[in-house]
Amino acid sequence: MDPKELVKSCPLFRGIDPADLGGMLKCMSAREIEPERGEFIMTTPGSAPLMGAVLAGEVEMISEDYFGKKSLLTVLPVGSVFGESYSCVKARNRTIAYQASGKCRVLLLDYDRILHACKLVCRFHHRMIENMVELIAEKNLELIEKLEVTSRTSIREKLLTYLTRQAERTGSAAFQVPMGRTELAEYLCTDRSAMTRELSRMREEGLIDFDKRTFTLLDWKK
């Protein structure tokens, strides 16, 4: 892995001199993997606490409850970190899995070594922890946003709330969503066929237009 490219593409290492990154990664037992579509990268609770950073592609965060019901929590794009919250918490009552949504590249780090870095890299390690806290805060906001979306009573309300948040994030009425239809239905906690029918009705009524993952809110204003 090229330290310069890693610092540029991953916010976890923002503000760290590329010349110092090699030593940090070695200290944290970092290793790069390239999982294929559908391959599980990490499951918590696991045997060893790990944290991942998405270098290319996308990773799906999936929750499984006591009864085995699975739910797509979010899709993590390039630059996202994952696994840190569940590696930190010792008492767990559900399984969280991270799965490659397509071919991707992921950097895995030893979580304990992130919290307890050696003296050689402590000067830069403090900055990395600050970056990690910021990324965790951003992820928490995304999960709060999902709660806002899924708490809507109808499929149309869920779709409009979700699509409006995407438009606000991009600052444009036309945007791409990070999920296909199946993943979007799982994210919204609704039936895929029912959601597809509702999307067609919304297009017929002039509320939206779409082509695969590209959507346009026809009456949206900044």
User: Which string of b and e fits 154-173 if b means at least 16 CB within 10 Å?
Assistant: ebbebbbbbbeebbeeeeeb
What is the widest separation between alpha-carbon atoms in the chain? 63
pTM here is: 0.72
Name which of 46-55, 97-106, 162-171, 195-204 the model is least confident about.
46-55
Structure tokens at 184: 């979007």
pLDDT of residue 45: 66
Edge-first strand listing for the sheet containing 214-217: 174-176, 214-217, 208-211
The C-alpha atoms of residue 131 and residue 16 are separated, in whole angstroms, by: 10
Tell me the residue length of the chain.
Answer: 222
The whole-chain average pLDDT of the chain stands at 85
Question: Alpha helix (H) ranges present in 96-180?
Answer: 111-115, 122-150, 155-170
Q: What is the pLDDT of residues 138-173, one digit of tens each?
A: 888 888 888 999 999 999 999 999 999 999 989 999
Residue with tokens 């965790």: 136
SS3 content of the chain, % helix, strand, coil (to 5): 45, 25, 35
User: pLDDT grade, residue 4 (50/70/90)?
Assistant: low
Query: Is 68 or 136 the better-scoring residue by pLDDT?
Result: 136
Most confident of the ranges 37-51, 88-102, 182-196: 182-196
Q: Partners of 100 in the beta sheet?
A: 59
